[in-house]
A and B are shown apart, each in its own frame.
Chain A
Amino acid sequence: MASERAANFQGPGPDAVWFENVKNGKFRLQRCNHCGKAFFYPRPLCVHCGSADWAWVDASGKGTVYSTSVVRQRPEDGPDYNIALIDLAEGPRMMSRVTGIPAPEVKIGMAVEAYIAPLDKDPLVLFKPAGRA
């Protein structure tokens, strides 16, 4: 058994760091120092190779829509909205919303870029079509 605790097992864990980063407007991913692959959502061990040797890196924010849907609502509950799966340029896939265009106009394969804003009260990583202000 290893005698030393890996650095990543000490201090605030990956969940806490993720939420702190997003709260501060930063979209960061874990990248494994052993296999070189990035992963999301936050975890203590690399989901690809199991290593505890990883570091936080800034995400490029670039992504592609892998799949998309429109959640239909009764008018009194609010407008219809988009739910999409985004393939990040770094490799991981995440659920999010593509905003700024009507939900049905979000298409699979569309290039998107990340921004951070509150959805209800807590900030989340959201996406808009690439190249839009």
Chain B
Amino acid sequence: MAHPLRGAVAVVGIGLTPFGELPGRSHLEIMGEAIHNALADAGLKKDQVDGMFGSNFADPLGAILYPEYFGLKNIKVMDSTNIGGSSFNNAMQEAAAALHLGLCDVALIAYGSNARTNTRRGGGPGFGRSFDAPYRPRQPINSYALAAARHMHQYGTTKEQLAQVAVSARQWAQKNPRAFMRDPLTVEDVLKARMVVDPFGVRDCCLVTDGGAAMVVVRADRAKDFPNAPVYMLGVGAATTHNDISQMPDLTVTAVAQAAPRAYAMAGITPKDVDVIEVYDAFTINTILFLEDFGFCKKGEGGPFVAAGNIAPGGKHPLNTNGGGLSCVHPGMYGMFIMVEAVEQLRGVAGDRQVPGAEIALCNGNGGYLSSQITLVFGTQATL
């Protein structure tokens, strides 16, 4: 029997802000622009929203700040769980459950950040109690660099293969007018870039930009009452292996290996059914680890898999079609943006970067230091 959440809810509104530099604007103001656009896209007014989901390192009690700040007077479900950049993907699971059970009828998931232009910015996010922090790792880069070093040692993954992830992302970004970095980028350029934390140079690392994104989610029974084609959640799986990187059992295997099979089982799909992939590519190693843990290739073969051009435009497995966190947008927590890109692809409105006939999108949000992983499967009406 199909899982009760398969196809139970649909995204009926999406909103983005410009990406890059939005000087003089606070993260909440940027969030507001995204919310405005998402509600307009869905044809809804703010007081129809009764479920508020959002998270930000700046807002420890976000789930009560946002309703106050945006004047949402009818909130019945509120959640600002922070599990890092995957918080919004996790919120999709929580919102689906709450909608399905009738705890709310219109869920809003939203994020805004001025990570690039905020001149009052302090250090990076602290992730709480840590026995790693006193050694002064440069986080979050350092945790991912340790994972890359281990993968290279264990499987012979090369810096050139890592670089190919960044190059593929850039090739997609060149097709996306919203992307922040669109200049040509070669493997050579990536290898010659300034070293940050070995084995990563600066082009192995995601951008730091401003930007916001929001989504409106409703139950499937009313999903066709909105202006745009609904995009259904077919499956979701969540898992966590650690908080600090020193506590990750195996730095070459992420919690996606647990989360993805759950999402596939709920959706009733296998990787073969996937038309387009959107993952949280905070660093080049992420994409390789996730492709392996998704099951697109065997463990250890992610390097050759990306080097063969599979994920670039024209490849068999289009991935991060907006340009990803590496070249499109990354304002500290990228999880919102992968879902919005999946929705645009499944609506068929992604312009030059559209994957023709895309019906099923696979997403993975990553949070912390490879710590939390949320896999989502989205589909069009035809996949129900």
In the complex, whether B185 has a CB less than 8 A from a CB of chain A is: no
Q: Which segment of A1-9, A30-38, A53-61, A94-102 sits at the interface?
A: A94-102
Cross-chain contact A69 with B198 (CB below 8 angstroms): yes
Tell me which residues across on chain B come within 8 A of A104, comparing CB atoms: 198
Contact check, B135 vs A124: say whether CB atoms are below 8 A apart: yes
The answer to whether the Cβ of B158 comes within 8 Å of any Cβ in the partner chain is no
**Chain B residues closer than 8 Å to A85, beta-carbon distance:** 146, 245-246, 251
Specify which of B131, B136, B147, B198 is in contact with A70 (CB 8 Å cutoff): B198
Closest approach, in angstroms, between the C-beta of B134 and any C-beta of chain A?
6
Cβ 8 A contact of A95, one of B137, B147, B195, B197: B137
Measured in the bound complex, the distance between the Cα atoms of B131 and A94 in whole Å is: 8
Given contacts A94-B131, A95-B246, contact A68 B149 (CB under 8 A): yes
Question: Is B121's CB within 8 Å of the partner chain A?
Answer: no
Q: Cβ of A109: which chain B residues have Cβ within 8 Å of it?
A: 153
Q: Is B347 an interface residue (CB 8 A)?
A: no
When chains A and B are docked, how far (Å) is the Cα of A128 from the Cα of B199? 21
- Given A67-B251, A97-B135, CB of A83 within 8 Å of CB of B195: no
- Whether B196 contacts A72 by the Cβ 8 Å rule is yes
Are the CB atoms of B142 and A83 closer together than 8 Å?
A: yes
Do A122 and B134 touch (CB < 8 A)? yes
B247 contacts A by Cβ under 8 Å: yes
B134/A124 in contact, CB under 8 A: yes
Which listed residue (A41, A71, A120) contacts B197, Cβ 8 A? A71
A108 to B153, CA, bound (A): 7
Contact with B along A61-90 (1 / 0, CB 8 A): 000001111111000000001011100000
Tell me, rounded to whole Å, the shortest Cβ–Cβ distance linking A107 to chain B. Answer: 9
Q: How many A-B residue pairs have CB under 8 A?
A: 71
How many residues of chain A get a CB closer than 8 Å to chain B's CBs? 25
Q: Tell whether, in the assembled complex, residue B135 and residue A119 are in contact, meaning their CB atoms are under 8 Å apart.
A: yes
Q: When chains A and B are docked, how far (Å) is the Cα of A37 from the Cα of B119?
A: 48
A85 to B132, CA, bound (A): 10
Q: Please judge, given known A-B contacts A95-B246, A96-B135, whether A72 and B153 are in contact too, CB under 8 Å.
A: no
Q: Bound state CA distance, A119 and B136, in angstroms? A: 9
CB distance from B197 to the nearest CB of A (A): 5
Confirm or deny: A93 has a beta carbon within 8 angstroms of a beta carbon on chain B. yes
Quote the shortest CB–CB distance from B150 to chain A (angstroms).
Answer: 4
What 0/1 pattern do residues 244 to 280 of B give for CB contact below 8 A with A? Answer: 1111000100000000000000000000000000000
Instruction: Say if the beta carbon of B145 comes within 8 Å of chain A.
Output: yes
Does chain A have a CB within 8 A of B138? yes
Residues on the A chain within 8 Å of B145, using CB: 69
Residues facing A in B148-169 (CB within 8 A) are 149-150, 153
Are A95 and B149 in contact, CB atoms less than 8 angstroms apart? no
B149 near A69: Cβ-Cβ < 8 Å: yes
Instruction: Name the distance in Å between B137's Cβ and chain A's nearest Cβ.
Output: 5
| Interface size grouping (class) on chain B | 20 to 34
Q: What residues on A are CB-neighbors of B137 within 8 Å?
A: 69, 71, 83, 95
Q: Which of B131, B194, B199 contacts A41 (CB 8 A)?
A: B131
CB-based contact B132/A95 at 8 Å? yes
Q: How far is the CA of A84 from the CA of B149 in the complex (A)?
A: 10
Q: Which residue of A lies closest to B147 (CB)?
A: A67
Q: Are B138 and A95 neighbours in the complex by a CB distance under 8 Å?
A: no
- Complex interface: chain A residues within 8 A of B196 (CB): 72
The distance in angstroms between the C-alpha atoms of A71 and B244, with both chains bound, is: 18
Alpha-carbon distance between A119 and B251 when the two chains are bound, in angstroms: 26
Cβ–Cβ contact A69 & B199, under 8 A: yes
CA distance A96 to B135 in the complex (A): 6
Tell which of B131, B136, B197, B246 touches A69, judged by Cβ atoms closer than 8 Å: B197
Residues in A lying within 8 Å of B, measured CB to CB: 40-41, 66-72, 81, 83-85, 93-97, 104, 108-109, 119-120, 122, 124
A-B contact pairs, 11 of them (CB 8 A): A67-B147, A67-B153, A69-B199, A70-B198, A81-B136, A85-B251, A93-B246, A95-B132, A95-B135, A95-B246, A108-B150
10 A-B pairs closest in CB distance: A70-B198, A41-B131, A95-B132, A67-B150, A67-B146, A69-B145, A95-B246, A108-B153, A83-B137, A72-B195
List 17 additional A-B contacts (Cβ < 8 Å) besides A67-B146, A69-B198, A70-B197.
A67-B147, A69-B142, A70-B195, A71-B136, A71-B138, A72-B194, A72-B198, A81-B136, A83-B137, A83-B146, A84-B146, A85-B246, A94-B131, A95-B245, A108-B149, A119-B136, A124-B134
